């Protein structure tokens, strides 16, 4: 479904290449957690996969539509449009537009928003720009998951939420990914989430994949083991917060 061969990427003003010879493949239904220190290349890798950035060298093969949620809450939604309009439009990616689709989709959209169980349905006809950053990030996630894409890319998609909402949105995300059998890559700085979710985990260090664990080996991971792997390459830099995003 996705294959990267010897992908490199540099940016002007950055001394070292951000990605250095990435070889990586993702099989259908893979749920891959991505960890690494600040500036290790995680966000750049997802942007290469989505097509937002072009690699300097190497080849990439993709099959299927890609949906994504990024850290920036100002991207992925249209603030001037209502919640209903945003979600309905996200479901029209492969369909011919019709002027009457808002009323047709309202019941379906309401059902999806109610499934989040956080009370956003009362904002169904409000401009999305009137919602908080965390609420907009939640809607952007719902849109990406339900847009019909076969590959889902999540770049710290819970980062703008308070701790309680982070748990709620993560549970919704994982449930949806498994039910819809989406092929997923999820960047996280939360070690517990990296261990708990997904059938595969990769760790980036200075633009290279240095750890790739899957299947039974991934299922046996514990916090001590994962931290020791991380410390081997980056000491405590995972806990320093933020991300050098390109």
Any residues with CB less than 8 A from the CB of 194 and at least 6 apart, and which? Answer: 33, 35, 188, 201, 226
How far CA 20 is from CA of 2, 30, 137, 205, in Å, comes to 18, 23, 31, 10
Over its length of 246 residues, how does the chain's per-residue pLDDT go in tens digits?
A: 899 999 999 999 888 999 999 999 999 999 999 999 888 999 999 999 999 999 999 999 998 899 999 887 777 788 888 888 888 777 765 555 554 556 677 888 888 889 888 888 898 888 888 888 888 889 999 989 988 889 999 999 998 889 999 999 999 999 999 999 999 999 999 999 999 999 999 999 999 999 999 999 999 999 888 888 888 886 544 444 444 434
What is the pTM (predicted TM-score) of this model? 0.86
DSSP conformation class of 82: B
Taken in order of first residue, the domains within the chain and their CATH numbers are 26-54+150-246 (3.40.50.300), 79-144 (no CATH)
Look up residue 86 and give its two tokens: 């945003």
How far CA 87 is from CA of 69, 239, 241, in Å, comes to 14, 34, 31
| CB atoms closer than 10 angstroms to residue 243 | 19
């Amino acid at each position: 479904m996705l294959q990267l061969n010897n992908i490199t990427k540099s940016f002007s003003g950055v001394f070292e290449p951000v990605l250095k010879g990435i070889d990586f493949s993702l099989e259908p239904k893979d749920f891959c957690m991505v960890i690494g220190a600040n500036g290790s290349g995680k966000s750049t890798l997802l942007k290469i996969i989505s097509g937002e950035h072009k690699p300097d060298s190497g080849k990439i093969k993709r099959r299927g539509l890609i949906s994504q949620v990024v850290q920036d809450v100002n991207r992925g939604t249209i603030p001037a449009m209502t919640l209903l309009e945003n979600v309905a439009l996200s479901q029209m990616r492969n369909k011919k537009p019709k002027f009457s689709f808002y009323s047709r989709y309202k019941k379906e959209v309401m059902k999806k928003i109610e499934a989040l169980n956080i009370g956003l349905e009362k904002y169904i006809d409000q401009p999305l720009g009137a919602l908080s950053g965390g609420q907009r990030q939640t809607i952007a996630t719902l849109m990406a998951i339900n847009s019909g894409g076969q590959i889902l890319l999540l770049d710290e998609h819970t980062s703008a939420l308070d701790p309680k909402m982070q748990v709620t949105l993560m549970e919704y995300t994982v449930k949806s990914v498994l039910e819809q059998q989406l092929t997923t890559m999820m960047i996280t700085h939360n070690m517990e989430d990296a261990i708990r979710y997904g059938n595969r985990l990769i760790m980036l260090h200075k633009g290279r994949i240095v750890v790739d664990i899957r299947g039974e080996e991934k299922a046996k991971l514990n916090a001590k083991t994962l931290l020791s792997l991380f410390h081997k390459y980056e000491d405590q830099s995972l806990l320093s917060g933020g991300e050098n995003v390109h």
